[in-house]
Amino acid sequence: MIKIEKQLLTLNQDIAGQEIGIPVYRLSPETADAQRTVYIQSAVHAAEMQGSAVILKLIQKLQECHLNANFVLVPNCNPFGRTQRAGEYLQGRFDATNGNNWNRFYHYDEQQIEAFFSTLDLPKITEAFAQQGSKNAMEDDIVFKLRLFLKQQLENKLESQWGVNTAQYLNSTLQNMAIEADLVLDLHTGPSSTRHIYSPNFLAEQATQFQIETVISIPEKFAGALDEASFTPLVKLAELFAKQGLTFEYRVQAYTVELGSQENICLEQAKMDADGILNYLQTHQFIDGFKPLPAKDVTITDLSQYRTLFSKYAGMVEYLAKPGQIVQKGQVLARVLNSLEFDTQEAIKEIVSPVSGIVILHYPSAAVQIGTQLFKIAAQ
């Protein structure tokens, strides 16, 4: 048996003062305190909803497992984006007021990690690191202190007299929960997309355990997203220890998982998506009692080989290559129609692939302009 607590965390209010919240589910083992925590959120890009269906399936399936960790599950975690519509669709990726990407304002400050490092008692740590038993306990203690420190930094940011922008407010509030976690999953989708996962380089091999066909391996750098904000402090801390000749091994495992296309829910597929996550959780002992899935072919693509094809033409587009499809260099991926040239040979322009690889996603609309991100391809 497991314990389930549900909270409505207020983040937003309408102009009449009505509070708008996000649901937070906390699952924990009925007996015995778990040492580790798993944090999973979905739909920070509000139109990317498949992850919320996956959280539903996880809540159901985790009840059949034995938990070795606490779980914090936050479906539909963006109460600003989920109320901003443009025509028939959610304007889910950007703040409709100012264009801010809802997934680029998490907090990381390298200098703050250096400041934290300077507070540590290095002679004592060096002594403890000399033996494996005391080393583990010392690492746990450092991680505990780092989390308190990072939470304080977030609080300071939110309490600044100057205030923060809406995306910073949302991201900081979510990050405050994610800081507790040893494993962080940020569930997204592409526009019109096949499943893929962003993994930091050092986790790329174990990211295959999610059984998602394509892993995009990214550098351990911060560019504003939650996965990066979760693993970069530990990577930076390890670098600082390495300069002192000390090996600090603890890392936060953090991934951005792209579960198909936006504005789409498929419960049947959500069951399989949840199974992939459970397979990872079982492999890393966050849970017991889930039967591991048979191995599956997964391609790991370095971020430098994950290429964007921009449209050179404006017009109406027919997508010929579908997400997940393997294409060859020179293959026609799409056709663009220009209605001013319908009586000439220029009526249709063909877009060909500059590389061989897997089409991961394409633009969702049939109306494109010059410079539109038409396709993203994992080159092979």
Task: Choose one: 48-56, 73-81, 138-146, 355-363; the region binding Zn ion (CB under 5 A).
Answer: 48-56
How many angstroms separate the CA atoms of 273 and 228, rounded? 22
Q: Which is nearer to Zn ion, 188 or 251 (CB)?
A: 188
Q: How far is the CB of 77 from Zn ion (least distance, A)?
A: 12
The residues, any chain, with a CB within 8 Å of residue 101's CB and separated by 6 or more, are 93, 94, 167, 224
Backbone phi, then psi, for 108, in 5-degree steps? Answer: -150, 135
Q: Which is nearer to Zn ion, 48 or 182 (CB)?
A: 48
Residue count (the chain): 380
SS3 269: helix
Binding mask 143-182 for Zn ion (x = CB under 5 A): ----------------------------------------
Would you state the structure tokens that stand for residue 368, as one six-digit string? 């494109």
Q: How far is the CB of 238 from Zn ion (least distance, A)?
A: 28
Q: Which is nearer to Zn ion, 48 or 95 (CB)?
A: 48
Q: Which is nearer to Zn ion, 105 or 116 (CB)?
A: 105
Are 215 and 360 in contact by the 8 Å Cβ rule? The answer is no
Q: How far is the CB of 55 from Zn ion (least distance, A)?
A: 15
SS3 63: coil
Q: How far is the CB of 257 from Zn ion (least distance, A)?
A: 10
Task: Choose one: 42-50, 60-68, 263-271, 303-311; the region binding Zn ion (CB under 5 A).
Answer: 42-50
How many angstroms separate the CA atoms of 76 and 79, rounded? 7
| Of 354, 191, 156, 181, residue with least CA distance to 262 | 191
Q: Which is nearer to Zn ion, 182 or 258 (CB)?
A: 258
23 bridge partner residues: 8
Q: Which is nearer to Zn ion, 188 or 236 (CB)?
A: 188
How many angstroms separate the CA atoms of 340 and 256, rounded? 42
Binding mask 179-218 for Zn ion (x = CB under 5 A): ---------x------------------------------
What amino acid occupies position 162?
A: W
Q: How far is the CB of 48 from Zn ion (least distance, A)?
A: 5
Half-sphere exposure of 284 (CA within 13 A, CB side): 20
Question: With left for phi above 0 and alpha for psi between -120 and 50, is residue 58 left, alpha or beta?
Answer: alpha
Number of amino acids touching Zn ion (CB under 5 A) = 3
Q: CA torsion angle for 358, 363, 364, 366 (degrees, to 10)?
A: -120
Task: Choose one: 4-12, 46-54, 351-359, 366-374; the region binding Zn ion (CB under 5 A).
Answer: 46-54
Q: How far is the CB of 378 from Zn ion (least distance, A)?
A: 17
- Provide the 8-state DSSP code for 119: T
Would you state the structure tokens that stand for residue 137, as one six-digit string? 């306990």
Q: Which strand (E) or helix (H) includes residue 66?
A: strand 66-67
Task: Choose one: 39-47, 177-185, 203-211, 247-255; the region binding Zn ion (CB under 5 A).
Answer: 39-47
SS3 328: coil
Q: Which is nearer to Zn ion, 48 or 228 (CB)?
A: 48
How many angstroms separate the CA atoms of 210 and 203, rounded? 12
Q: How far is the CB of 180 from Zn ion (least distance, A)?
A: 23
Q: How far is the CB of 172 from Zn ion (least distance, A)?
A: 18
Task: Choose one: 40-48, 195-203, 226-234, 309-317; the region binding Zn ion (CB under 5 A).
Answer: 40-48
Q: Which is nearer to Zn ion, 45 or 82 (CB)?
A: 45
Q: SS3 letters for 284-309?
A: CCCEECCCCCCCCCCEEEEHHHEEEE
Q: How far is the CB of 232 from Zn ion (least distance, A)?
A: 19
Asked if 45 interacts with Zn ion (CB under 5 A), we say yes
Q: Which is nearer to Zn ion, 248 or 306 (CB)?
A: 306
Q: How far is the CB of 116 from Zn ion (least distance, A)?
A: 30
Q: Which is nearer to Zn ion, 139 or 258 (CB)?
A: 258
Where does this chain bind Zn ion (CB under 5 A)?
45, 48, 188
